[in-house]
Amino acid sequence: MTAHQPELLHFADSGEVADLAAFLGRLVHYDRAAAVRLQAGGDALAVFGRPPSFDVLAIRTARLAASEGLGILDVTVSAGELLESIDEPAGTAVVAAAVTGPPWAGVLPPRGGWRQVPGLPGLEAMRAAVGAAVAEFRARDEALPPEHRTRAERDRIGREIWSRTLGDTELPLRAVHAAQSLGFLRPIRTTVPRQPVTDPVADVAAEPVALLAAGSWLRLRTPYGSIATRRATGLGPLTITPA
């Protein structure tokens, strides 16, 4: 049997690899056993992950060096191992051996067909909505009698709050909360590059922050990453089909 030959990724610049490391670090913070699905071709890499509790997919893209010459890559690996392999000064990362992918890794958003959906509030309003929801959860949790302060009751309150939609959109607050927690709702720097044109979930929206829809999927897209979720039901129990 031939041993696994690790593949070395070369990123376009130090900023790309630093942002990817920050994204992976947040995923591992929520789940030390987190897995990520990598898809790459040409000069773009897309990293898909699912932070626990949020019921969404998180997507971070990164530009690869023009000289990379990478063929088609599609593999699920340990987020922790990928993070540990990153060499920021060198701008590289090692693609570790594949792991058995969790069910969500077989249900990714479509590659095309995205259209912009109106009604998305600005960044400050989205951050304020998350802050208000967190404050409401804490207040309702603290108001529970001791005999009712159970995991099941807290989960019920959480589902009620985070299933609410943002403004006049269909985007659930849990998706905005995930975006905030993963650092996607930071103030936009003028130096942040646009998503690579070969992004596997590319779109044509001109705004740096936009709400997009394709079929049953919604996607909150920012320069720092995207959050994708199914309309109304989140990812939930889905029929698994190859992506």
E strands in the chain: 7-10, 35-42, 44-49, 57-63, 70-78, 92-95, 115-117, 210-214, 217-222, 225-230
Residue 233 has pLDDT above 70, yes or no: no
Could you tell me which residue, 177 or 111, shows the higher pLDDT?
177
Residue 237 confidence class, pLDDT cut points 50, 70, 90? very low
Could you tell me which residue, 29 or 197, shows the higher pLDDT?
29
Across 90-99, 126-135, 169-178, 190-199, least confident range: 190-199
Could you tell me which residue, 232 or 164, shows the higher pLDDT?
164
Beta bridge partners of 95: 7
How many whole angstroms separate alpha carbon 242 and alpha carbon 118?
Answer: 30
pLDDT of amino acid 243: 36
Asked if 202 contacts 46 with a C-beta cutoff of 8 angstroms, the reply is no
Residue 188 confidence class, pLDDT cut points 50, 70, 90? confident
- Which distant-in-sequence residues (6+ apart) come within 8 Å of 147 by Cβ? none
Domains of the chain, first to last = 7-106 (3.70.10.10), 115-230 (no CATH)
DSSP state, residue 26: H
pLDDT digits (tens, 9 = 90+) for 90-134: 999 999 889 998 999 999 999 889 999 999 999 999 999 999 999
Beta bridge partners of 172: 165
